[in-house]
């Protein structure tokens, strides 16, 4: 049941609107056609009431021009003209306008009623949007703008208050085309909301679709940071829209996918030619952000969250468990025997990583799966961990880290004194000191771990471990240990090249031993093609990111040409994998020969070498790209693949 205080406040609001002179006169004029309920809001260009259309028995929102404005013929005509322009728009993400009319000096239009909240209200109540939710809502707004622009209509007032979020469906709906204008029209004075206006709109220049894209970029900035790009008085904000580049969302400090930051930055470009060409392109770019967020399969999700790590309390537990036997060994055999204990710990770590790699291989996953899983997990963690920092935990982590450094220094000094000290120097007091230092180190590490886990999971460290040389090395050893053991093809979201490679490996391992010996190079060629395709795909993504930040027309042309070439190479590489899978299937069906498969192997190897030669030939261009992207663009294909044996 609704609390009495809420009911009382709602009743007061309804009674207040129903005693408003405009409400009473409008209701009298529309009696029998619309039944007004209450006021929903008001602004400089109209008042909106919730009403029910009698004939169709549906809720509508009625926007009426205030009497003082309706008395001006020019304002009255402009209101009607803009309402009729908006009524031409029919799109799932645009509020429909049902009627535009004048009744007894009341100028109004009736539109669909959205039961929900505005984007501004959503951010005010819940804080900045998560990247995935925000990208979805903004893509829907971009779709709506693309439809309006195709009809020759510019909204001119895109802002968080004019983006409604429906409760039932969660979809974004663009509202209030009340100041919309035709494409190519010039602003009649400064019309719009200062915090979200494009530079050309501020200057009263000619408007086109890209003016709305600037406002959409400013709205996106607000959605992800809870503040507009520029703040201050209206005059200060307007001048900054003209003269200052918009700050990057990355500077706010919230975790945000780099690609999404670049999309928003491009929309906020001062020059229209530097913005996306149209709203369709913005929707496409935001769609790429969403496409990166695929759900991890259960096996990989468990691995990145739990099975891949011994950090936190697990590490402390291991050290505590190792403490007693190491202390006993040191007491019996001498202080140097502790080194033997550390060797055993390292060996246990090696067994741990190889055992995990063996299990993942058995489930049908490869090293590239693990890399992608950690990347996806990091993005999700950044969204989930967008909490305010906890100063006490941060201080505890700093104190614990400093204590560990001091204890390490004291331990090293004691160990050196034992090593170079005179005979008989080692006494019970020295052992007691070492024991105290060891216990203090454990407590300091426990404090550091507690502070670290209280702030965020240490996924970044384990991503670096498993995605780097250690992870690749463990999978390489595990692959040799497994030999020709069959692979389970787990249900998972994976790239086409990985699925084809796994399927082909499974087919190869099920061939007779003598056939496998004749085609012994198949696994290496499959791995080389799969890795090459994966890196080409990553290269394409990085080129997309670079394209977002490139302003020069020549640079854009070079990047687009490189994108097309990379796309063709990717298609050819995946096609080679597909042909090899079909050849292996034909071998199983006894409709192909070993010589035919060998020919396919030669062709696949030559294709890979051709890709490598192209990458070497364009290395100079890549260096330019890397300079523009601060060293984060276009890593070449795995050099190890160039050393694959020539297929006989």
String of DSSP letters for 149-191 = HHTTEE-S---GGGEEEETTT--EEE---TT-EETTPBPSSS-
Does residue 435 have a pLDDT over 50?
yes
The alpha carbon of 365 is separated from its chain's Cα centroid by a whole number of angstroms, namely 23
Q: Which of 183-192, 527-536, 563-572 has the lowest mean pLDDT?
A: 183-192
What residues act catalytically? Answer: 157
Most confident of 2-11, 166-175, 541-550, 580-589: 166-175
Q: What angle do CA 480, 482, 484 make, to 5 degrees?
A: 95
What is the model's pLDDT at position 563? 80
Percent over 70 (pLDDT), the chain: 70
The arithmetic mean of pLDDT across residues 581-589, rounded, is: 81
pLDDT tens-digit readout, 85-101:
778 888 889 988 898 88
Residue 412 — very low, low, confident or very high, per pLDDT cuts 50/70/90? confident
Q: Which of 154-163, 191-200, 389-398 has the lowest mean pLDDT?
A: 389-398
Residue 12 — very low, low, confident or very high, per pLDDT cuts 50/70/90? very low
Mean pLDDT of the chain: 75
What is the model's pLDDT at position 586? 81
The arithmetic mean of pLDDT across residues 246-259, rounded, is: 76
Q: 405: which 2 tokens?
A: 């450094």
What is the model's pLDDT at position 394? 67
What is the model's pLDDT at position 300? 72
Q: Are 260 and 295 in contact (CB under 8 A)?
A: no
What is the model's pLDDT at position 603? 82
Residues in the chain: 648
Ramachandran sector of residue 483 (left: φ over 0; alpha: ψ -120 to 50; beta: rest): left
pLDDT tens-digit readout, 20-43:
788 888 888 888 888 888 888 887
Q: What angle do CA 446, 450, 456 make, to 5 degrees?
A: 140
What is the C-alpha separation between 430 and 330, in angstroms, rounded? 12
Q: 31: which 2 tokens?
A: 């009696």
What is the model's pLDDT at position 340? 62
What is the model's pLDDT at position 193? 84
Residue 106 Cα distances to 33, 87, 144, angstroms = 14, 18, 29
- The SS3 assignment for 508 reads helix
What is the C-alpha separation between 495 and 533, in angstroms, rounded? 9
What is the model's pLDDT at position 351? 81
Q: Which of 158-162, 452-456, 609-613 has the lowest mean pLDDT?
A: 452-456
Decide which of 625 and 571 is more confident: 571
């Amino acid at each position: 049941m609704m609390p009495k205080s809420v009911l009382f406040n709602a009743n007061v609001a309804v009674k207040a609107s129903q005693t408003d002179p405009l409400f009473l006169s409008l209701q009298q004029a529309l009696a029998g056609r619309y039944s007004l309920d209450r006021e929903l809001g008001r602004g400089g260009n109209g008042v909106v009431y919730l009403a029910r259309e009698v004939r169709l028995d549906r809720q509508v929102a009625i926007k009426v021009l205030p009497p003082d404005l309706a008395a001006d013929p020019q304002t009255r005509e402009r209101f009607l003209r803009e309402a009729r322009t908006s009524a031409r728009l029919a799109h799932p993400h645009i509020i429909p306008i049902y009627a535009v009319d004048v009744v007894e000096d009341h100028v109004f239009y009736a539109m669909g009623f959205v039961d929900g909240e505005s984007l501004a209200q959503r951010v005010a109540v819940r804080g900045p949007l998560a990247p995935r939710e925000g990208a979805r809502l903004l893509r829907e707004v971009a779709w709506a703008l693309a439809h309006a622009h195709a009809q020759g209509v510019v909204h001119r007032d895109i802002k968080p208050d004019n983006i409604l979020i429906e409760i039932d469906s969660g979809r974004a709906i663009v509202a209030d085309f009340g100041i919309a204008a035709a494409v190519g029209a010039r602003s009649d004075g400064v019309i719009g909301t200062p915090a979200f206006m494009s530079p050309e709109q501020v200057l009263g220049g000619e408007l086109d679709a890209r003016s709305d894209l600037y406002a959409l970029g400013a709205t996106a900035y607000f959605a992800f940071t809870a503040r507009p790009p520029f703040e201050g008085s209206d005059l200060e904000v307007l001048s900054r829209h003209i003269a200052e580049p918009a700050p990057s969302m990355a500077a706010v400090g919230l975790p945000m996918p780099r690609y999404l930051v670049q999309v928003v930055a491009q929309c906020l470009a001062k020059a229209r030619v530097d913005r996306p060409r149209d709203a369709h392109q913005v929707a496409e770019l935001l769609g790429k952000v969403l496409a990166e967020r695929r759900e991890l399969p259960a096996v990989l999700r468990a691995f990145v969250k739990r099975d891949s790590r011994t950090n936190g309390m697990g590490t402390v537990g291991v050290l505590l468990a190792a403490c007693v036997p190491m202390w006993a060994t040191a007491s019996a055999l001498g202080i140097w025997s502790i080194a033997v204990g550390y060797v055993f710990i390292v060996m246990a770590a090696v067994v741990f990583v190889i055992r995990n790699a063996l299990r993942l291989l058995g489930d049908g996953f490869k090293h590239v799966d693990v890399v992608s899983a950690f990347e996806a997990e990091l993005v999700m963690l950044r969204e989930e961990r967008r909490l305010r920092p906890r100063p006490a935990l941060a201080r505890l982590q700093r104190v614990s880290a400093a204590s560990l450094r001091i204890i390490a220094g004291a331990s090293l000094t004691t160990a050196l004194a034992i090593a170079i000290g005179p005979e008989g120097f080692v006494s019970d007091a020295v052992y007691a000191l070492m024991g105290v230092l060891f216990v203090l180190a454990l407590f300091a590490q426990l404090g550091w771990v507690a502070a670290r886990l209280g702030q965020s999971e240490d996924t970044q460290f384990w991503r670096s471990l498993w995605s780097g040389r250690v992870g690749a090395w463990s999978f390489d050893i595990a692959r040799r240990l497994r030999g020709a053991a069959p692979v389970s093809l787990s249900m998972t979201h994976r790239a086409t090249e990985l699925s084809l490679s796994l399927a082909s490996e499974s087919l190869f391992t099920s061939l007779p031993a003598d056939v496998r010996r004749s085609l012994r190079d198949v696994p290496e060629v499959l791995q080389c093609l799969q890795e090459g395709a994966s890196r080409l795909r990553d290269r394409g993504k990085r080129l997309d990111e670079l394209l977002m930040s490139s302003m020069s027309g020549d640079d854009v042309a070079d990047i687009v040409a490189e994108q097309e070439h990379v796309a063709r190479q990717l298609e050819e590489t995946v096609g080679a994998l597909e042909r090899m899978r079909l050849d292996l299937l034909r071998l199983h069906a006894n409709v192909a020969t070993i010589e035919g498969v060998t020919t396919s192997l030669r062709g696949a190897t030559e294709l890979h070498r051709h890709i490598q030669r192209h990458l070497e030939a364009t290395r100079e261009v890549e260096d330019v790209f890397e300079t523009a992207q601060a060293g984060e663009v276009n890593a070449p294909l795995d050099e190890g693949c160039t050393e694959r044996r020539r297929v006989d």
